[in-house]
A and B are shown apart, each in its own frame.
Chain A
């Protein structure tokens, strides 16, 4: 079987998104399955279909740095994209990939993993859809059914600018931004980070194409986009540039925040208000354990109350209600002027776990 390969080369940021949408919408029964390679030449922020741009992004920063915002029709969270990433996009006829979405990612990730391995990076499939190397995420993926087509997208990360990502995301306070910055540096990887140099993109493409052929048991045939596909891309771009498309989703307003740094690392900020006090908890959760915890008032400074050793005792503990409760109970008497009772403390801490379950769909 032959699968079409289109190396689109360097394209605008918007085009790097519109290609796979356009190809999907232009797909007919006779369109060949298509693999696309593309490098976005200018940086942008890309939000998931269901994300609220006003809640996710620091719009003033994006405007100041002329970072366009594109809402895509695939799932997942906000990502910063620039020319240091090589997009790989599969636009397939329905039925070619396995039926279960989780299995799409297994198939899609395999040639990415093999390619990283070719360059000496021990990459592996992690959780539902991630590719990791040494505990760090090294591929971002997304999937969708667009029109009749089944689409999976991902990217080789050659280098990662965590600064733009950190500054562009909406955060509740400066300490959260600090934790986020550290998390992105620590848990997102790249060719450069792993190897200390940048491999030749042409060589990465060559190895990747070979690995796709091996994974799918097909031959990739170099080809070009058709006129109809270009027209579909342009139509998608007109839609994506509309303000009402970018601002399509509005969620209920609150300051609470949860960012998935990768499938095992979550950074959350939760609040509880009582008797004029706003108590907040900033928690970094790694593999369902509390890795870092800072309890404060809304402004991100310590409150007029004292939490004693509650924070230190909770760090390192599993995010399980019975464990959290037992520690809160043990520490409660030592806390001075606690604005919250035991149940409220437990609820505040556990809210992050509950939000993570809602965001990931898995308990």
Chain B
């Protein structure tokens, strides 16, 4: 999968990113999207102990929480990168929230959503090389240290 590592943090080139909120969006064939936390986000949070998403059927505006996670002694939101409705949550996170750490772009996805206006939502996110550039700037600006990957994490050569 096309990707780039910036300071050890993996950024996939085929995803759309809300860089400031550290979330990603994958466009699915059926018109829905899958949403998750980025590798940068899981690294900043540390090992995640709990994750609880809002239920299916919940409408969310961009920037509002779609899930709450706890790592160590920190609790924080995963913010919606789009305007839309949650249609599915990743039930596997209830018993193994560290899937977000080990597999942020695959098994650790957080929710699936249906956008109110997908074209408009995606145009407000960054994609491909633009995402790489944006993350390089963010990692430098925020002085983000090298990403840690816990045992069993997905590997990207």
Residues of A within 8 A of B (CB): 48-50, 73-76, 95, 98-102, 104-105, 128-129, 141-145, 249, 358-363
Contacts and interface: CB of A to CB of B under 8 A. Distances in A.
Given A73-B75, A101-B72, A129-B72, 8 more contacts: A100-B43, A100-B46, A128-B46, A129-B73, A142-B74, A143-B73, A360-B47, A361-B49
A143 B69 CA distance: 12
B49 A358 contact: yes
B134 to A, nearest CB: 16
B61 to A, nearest CB: 14
Contacts of A49: 50, 68, 70, 75
A50 B73 contact: no
Interface of B: 43-50, 52, 68, 70-77, 98, 142-145, 151
B75 A128 contact: no
Could you tell me the dominant secondary structure of chain A's interface residues? loop
24 contacts: A49-B68, A50-B52, A73-B75, A74-B73, A74-B74, A99-B44, A99-B142, A99-B143, A100-B44, A101-B45, A105-B73, A129-B73, A143-B75, A145-B75, A249-B52, A358-B49, A360-B47, A360-B72, A361-B46, A361-B48, A361-B49, A361-B98, A362-B47, A363-B151
Nearest to A144: B75
A28 to B, nearest CB: 15
A75 B144 contact: no
A3 to B, nearest CB: 20
Contacts of A249: 52
Given A358-B49, A362-B47, A101 B142 contact: no
Nearest to A140: B73
Given A358-B49, A361-B49, A361-B98, A75 B145 contact: no
B52 A361 contact: no
Contacts of A142: 73-74
Contacts of A105: 73
A145 B76 CA distance: 5
Contact of A101 (B44, B52, B143, B151): B44
B45 to A, nearest CB: 6
A48 B70 contact: yes
A116 B48 CA distance: 31
Contacts of B98: 361
Contacts of B49: 50, 75, 358-361
- For A48, A360, A361, which residue has the most chain B Cβ atoms within 10 angstroms? A361
B144 A50 contact: no
A100 B74 contact: no
